[in-house]
Structures are given as structure tokens and as C-alpha cells.
């Protein structure tokens, strides 16, 4: 009987162990589904980057993690999607740093007008210690920052008249992002700023509710603003970055291995997204001319004039983001290659 009991006990232990392995295996192989929302169309680098990230995550997880991309604000405006991530009802998005500044004030430093000289310089600042320190402020707001993406240098378009100097903007109603600094920036240049989400902008331009807007060439082309805007001025007044973010509630449920997998995919997708942005920005400018837009080149001297007109705005927002943060930001720019 003793032998029989021992045999039965060993069999029971083997069955239990096998059951445990099956449960663990099932847990490891559990499919994860996530939604990635963007505010811009399929052909814009923001959405191209989102699709590349989803593709890389799918490949690295052998199809176990499936990220579905919803473009053109199907899941809401940038601010609405940020709220959904914080609430845990959406997993990924990639808003502008200007929009994130409404949650974490330090992100506002990146939009200070006429700060960056080139994309190369911007990459060094965002990927360096300063940029990573700002990303580290997101978890306390319910978000995880994975990487900085590029939207590009912003330029001015309007339907009323050529703009070659700051004074030409006087009285124009210009749509800006829902960000106080951008509102003050264009009011400071003599225009009348009207904040609204980008997905509402085409209709506002078409009905002349606003006369003007400011965005990188890729956005102007992807959103077909050339159909309702005649004049494009190369102001390059601000460099706009986007941030690949995840919901912290979603992120905290992931295994360490899945977090590492997604971070690796984010790094690879970032290289792709930035290059796509730069290639498409160059092509978009030529395409806008072919669509009939008149390009008005802004001289370096006039940009300096605009910069001088905005000194009070810069001073105001250096205080808002924090003098020490602004000091570190400009120090990081000074060290970065141009």
C-alpha cells in the first residue's frame, strides 16, 4: 500500500506540475490588443510612424500583440485621446509637445519660438539627457513616454495676402493649437489667434471662420489646406515634436519582457518616422507649389525681427515652464550640433 500511495502521489504531483506549466504557457501566449489613435491622415508621418510601430510590435511578439491604428482623429482630438490614455480606455497616441504642455508644463519649453536651428540639433536635445528628463515627468500624469517623433518646422499659410514680414499678419485670424504659448505668439505678431483642434481646421478655413493657420508642410499637404489657402510663408517659427505615449494603466499590466519589446520597437519606429517626416516635408513643399500655393520666402533678417517682437512672450513662458528648465533647455541646444 505504501508503494501504491507513493506512486499515486508522484502521479498527482506530475499532473499538477503539468497543469501549472500549461497555465503559465497560456498566460505567456495571451494575446494583447491595443488601439493607437492619431489626429492626422494615413499619409502623414505621424500615422506612418504609428503603423510602423504597430508592425514592429506585431513582428517582435510573433503576432501575439496586435495594435490597431485609427488615423484622422477617429478616436478624438489629441486632448481627448490623452484623456482616454490616462483613463485606460485607449493605449497609444502621439500628440504634439505643445498639447502635452497642458498636462506637464515643462513640455512647453520645446515650442519656444525660433529655438532650434535644424532637425539634427533637435534630435540631439530630445534624445539627450534633457529630453529624457522631461519624458520622465509623464508617469505621474498617467502616461508613459516612449520616444520623441517629428512633426517638423512650422510655417504660416493664409487665404488673404502674401506675408513677408511680421506686420503683414496684422488682423488675420489664425488658428493655433490649443496651447497658450502659441496663442500669445501669434497675438504678439499682430494676428488674432483662434485655438482649435486640427481636425476642425479645414472647415474653419473653408468658411473663412479663420484666415490662416501654421503647420509643417506635411500637415498642410496631408490635410489639403492648399484647397482653401493661397499663400505660404516660410517662417520656420517653431520646431514641433510629437511624443509617442502609452497609457500607464495599460503599461503597468505588461510583463517586463513585453515592455522591453515595445521600447525596442519604439526606438526603431522613431528612426523610420523621423526620416519619413524629413523626406515628406521636402516633397510636400514642392507639391504645394504644384497645387497652386504661392511661397513667400522669409529672410533671416525678418525672422530676427519676429524673434525680437516675441521677447516678452519668450520671457513669460520661460517663467511658466520654470527658469531652471529654460536654462537647461538652452544649454542643451548650445551643446548640440547644428
User: What percent of the chain stands above pLDDT 70?
Assistant: 91
- Helix or strand or coil: residue 113? coil
Examine the pLDDT at 185 and tell me if it is beyond 80: yes
Examine the pLDDT at 225 and tell me if it is beyond 70: yes
Three cell numbers written together for 262: 515595445
Spell out the domains of the chain, with CATH numbers in brackets: 30-332 (3.40.190.170)
Opening angle at CA 89, ends 91 and 86, nearest 5: 75
- Helix or strand or coil: residue 83? helix
CA distance 95 to 97: 7
**333: Cα separation from own chain's centroid:** 20
- In terms of C-beta distances under 8 Å and separation of at least 24 residues, what long-range contacts does 298-307 make, across chains too? 298/163, 298/164, 298/165, 298/233, 298/234, 298/235, 298/236, 302/164, 302/165, 302/166, 303/114, 303/235, 303/236, 303/237, 305/165, 305/166, 306/113, 306/114, 306/166, 306/189, 306/235, 306/237, 307/113, 307/114
Q: Of the candidates 64, 127, 81, which has an alpha carbon nearest to the alpha carbon of residue 270?
A: 127
Higher pLDDT, 11 or 72: 72
Instruction: Give every CB contact of residue 160 below 8 A, 6+ residues apart in sequence.
Output: 172, 211, 212, 231
230 torsion bin: left (phi>0), alpha (psi -120 to 50), beta (else): alpha
- For residue 66, the cross-strand partners are 33
CA distance 235 to 157: 10
Q: Are 84 and 90 in contact (CB under 8 A)?
A: yes
Residue-wise pLDDT for 17-38, tens only, equals 444 444 444 445 689 999 999 9
The per-residue pLDDT for 30 is 87
* DSSP string for 229-291: --EEEEEEEEEEEEEEEEEHHHHTTS-HHHHHHHHHHHHHHHHHHHHHHHHHHHHHHHHHHHT
The per-residue pLDDT for 18 is 44
Question: For the chain, how are helix, strand and coil distributed in percent, rounded to 5?
Answer: 55, 20, 25
Residue-wise pLDDT for 131-148, tens only, equals 999 999 999 999 999 999
Per-residue DSSP letter, 142: T
Higher pLDDT, 194 or 9: 194
Residue-wise pLDDT for 51-99, tens only, equals 999 999 999 999 999 999 999 999 999 999 999 999 999 999 999 999 9
Amino acid at each position: 500500500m505504501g508503494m501504491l500511495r507513493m506512486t499515486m502521489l508522484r502521479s498527482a504531483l506530475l499532473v499538477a506540475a503539468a497543469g501549472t506549466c500549461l497555465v503559465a504557457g497560456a498566460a505567456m501566449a495571451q494575446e494583447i490588443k491595443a488601439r493607437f489613435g492619431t489626429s492626422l491622415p494615413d499619409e502623414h508621418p505621424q500615422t506612418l510612424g504609428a503603423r510602423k510601430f504597430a508592425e514592429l510590435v506585431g513582428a517582435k511578439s510573433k503576432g501575439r500583440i496586435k495594435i490597431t491604428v485609427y488615423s484622422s482623429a477617429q478616436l478624438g482630438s489629441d486632448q481627448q485621446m490623452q484623456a482616454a490614455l490616462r483613463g485606460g480606455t485607449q493605449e497609444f497616441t502621439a500628440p504634439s509637445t505643445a498639447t502635452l504642455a497642458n498636462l506637464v508644463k515643462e513640455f512647453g519649453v520645446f515650442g519656444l519660438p525660433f529655438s532650434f536651428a535644424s532637425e539634427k540639433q533637435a534630435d540631439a536635445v530630445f534624445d539627450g539627457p534633457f529630453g529624457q528628463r522631461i519624458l520622465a515627468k509623464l508617469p505621474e500624469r498617467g502616461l508613459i513616454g516612449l520616444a520623441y517623433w517629428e512633426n517638423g518646422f512650422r510655417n504660416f499659410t493664409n487665404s488673404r495676402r502674401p506675408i513677408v514680414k511680421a506686420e503683414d499678419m496684422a488682423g488675420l485670424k489664425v488658428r493655433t493649437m490649443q496651447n497658450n504659448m502659441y496663442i500669445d505668439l501669434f497675438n504678439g505678431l499682430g494676428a488674432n489667434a483662434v485655438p482649435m483642434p486640427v481636425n476642425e481646421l479645414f472647415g474653419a478655413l473653408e468658411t473663412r471662420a479663420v484666415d490662416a493657420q501654421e503647420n509643417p508642410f506635411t500637415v498642410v499637404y496631408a490635410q489639403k489646406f492648399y484647397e482653401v489657402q493661397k499663400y505660404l510663408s516660410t517662417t520656420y517659427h517653431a520646431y514641433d515634436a510629437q511624443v509617442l505615449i502609452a497609457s500607464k494603466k495599460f503599461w503597468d499590466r505588461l510583463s517586463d519582457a513585453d515592455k522591453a519589446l515595445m521600447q525596442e520597437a519604439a526606438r526603431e519606429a522613431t528612426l523610420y518616422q523621423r526620416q519619413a517626416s524629413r523626406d515628406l516635408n521636402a516633397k510636400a513643399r514642392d507639391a504645394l507649389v504644384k497645387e497652386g500655393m504661392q511661397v513667400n520666402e522669409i529672410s533671416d533678417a525678418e525672422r530676427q525681427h519676429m524673434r525680437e517682437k516675441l521677447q516678452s512672450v519668450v520671457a513669460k513662458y520661460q517663467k511658466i515652464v520654470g527658469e531652471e528648465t529654460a536654462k537647461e533647455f538652452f544649454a542643451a541646444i548650445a551643446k548640440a550640433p547644428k
